[in-house]
Structure 1
C-alpha cells in the first residue's frame, strides 16, 4: 500500500474536487461497464450546494497524494458506504483500499455490526476482494435509464 496516500476528513473546500473525481471516474472508468446513455444519465451533479451539504452531513474523507485530492468516501448513519470514487489517474495504487480502511474504522467506532454499499458493475470486483458479498442485484432509475448495481455487505470485525 502506498504510504503517500493521506486520508483526511472532508472539508467544505473539497466540494469541487469531489465533484470532479465523481464525474471523471464515471465517465472514464465506469464507461467500460455501462453504455454511453447510462453514463450520461449517471454522470451529473444537478446541485452543487446539495452535493456539499450531503458530504458535510456525515463522516466523509478525502484521499490526497502530494497535496492532490485523488479520492473520497463517506459513511451514512445507518452504515452505508454511500460513495467511494477514485480519480482515474490514481486507480490501482491503493487509494480505494485506504479509504475503505478508514470507513471500516469509523464503522467499528460507531458500533456498526455491518456496512453495506450499492456497488456499480465497475466497483463490484473491488468490494468482493475486500470481503463484501452480494445480497442482490438492483436496477436504479436515473434520468430515464436503468442502471444495474449490487447491494453488498460486509460484517465488521
Structure 2
C-alpha cells in the first residue's frame, strides 16, 4: 500500500474509479438522473486526462491497483475524494484525507473545505469538519444536494 502523486497514465483508472464510486455508492442517496449527470457512464477520457494533469491528485495504490484518490487545491479545497466501492469502509478515505491534511499543513494552508456528497458527509464529520450549510449544485442541468464543510487547521 502506498500513496503516490498522479503521473501520466493514471487518468483512466481514476476516471473508472470515480464513475464506479458514484454509481454504486450513490444509488441509495441520489436518483439515476442525478447519478448520470454527476458521472456519465460514457467516460470522457480526454477530460479526465486534462483534469488529472491539472489537479495532480494523490492516489492510494495497492498491488498497482488504484483504490482511491483525493484532489487538494492550493487554497485548501478538496475537489474530488473517492474510494473504489469494493474497498470502502476500510480506512482508505480517512487515510487519503489525513494525507491531504498533512500536505496542507506543510503548505501552510489554514483550512480545508469541501462540497461533501450525502455519502461522504459522515466521513468528514468524523474527521473534524464542520457543516457550514446545505448546498444545491447544478451539474449538466441537474440539481445535486451536497454539504459545504470546512476544517480549520492548526
TM superposition score category, shorter chain reference = over 0.9
Q: Which residue, 90, 93, 97 being the options, matches 1:96?
A: 93
- 1:115-134 aligned at under 5 Å gives the runs 115-134=112-131
Separation in 1, partners of 2:9, 2:35: 27
Query: What residue is the counterpart of 1:48 in the other structure?
Result: 45
Separation in 1, partners of 2:19, 2:121: 18
* Runs of 5+ consecutive residues of structure 2 not aligned to the other structure: none
After superposition, what is the alpha-carbon deviation per residue over 1:28-70, rounded to whole angstroms, capped at 9, x for unaligned?
A: 0011111111111111276422322222223521111222111
Q: Are 1:18 and 2:46 counterparts?
A: no
Structure 1 length-normalised TM: 0.91
Q: Do the aligned partners of 1:58 and 1:77 also contact (CA within 8 Å) in 2?
A: no
Cα shift at 1:151: 0.7
Query: What residue is the counterpart of 2:24 in the other structure?
Result: 28
Separation in 1, partners of 2:66, 2:44: 21
Q: Do the aligned partners of 1:59 and 1:76 also contact (CA within 8 Å) in 2?
A: no
Q: Deviating runs (4+, > 6 A) in structure 1?
A: none
Q: Are 1:81 and 2:78 counterparts?
A: yes
Q: Do the aligned partners of 1:136 and 1:152 also contact (CA within 8 Å) in 2?
A: yes
* Runs of 5+ consecutive residues of structure 1 not aligned to the other structure: none
- 1:61-76 aligned at under 5 Å gives the runs 61-76=58-73
For 1:37, what is the secondary structure of its paired residue? helix
Query: What residue is the counterpart of 1:58 in the other structure?
Result: 55
Query: What residue is the counterpart of 1:146 in the other structure?
Result: 143
Over the aligned positions, Cα root-mean-square deviation in angstroms equals 1.4
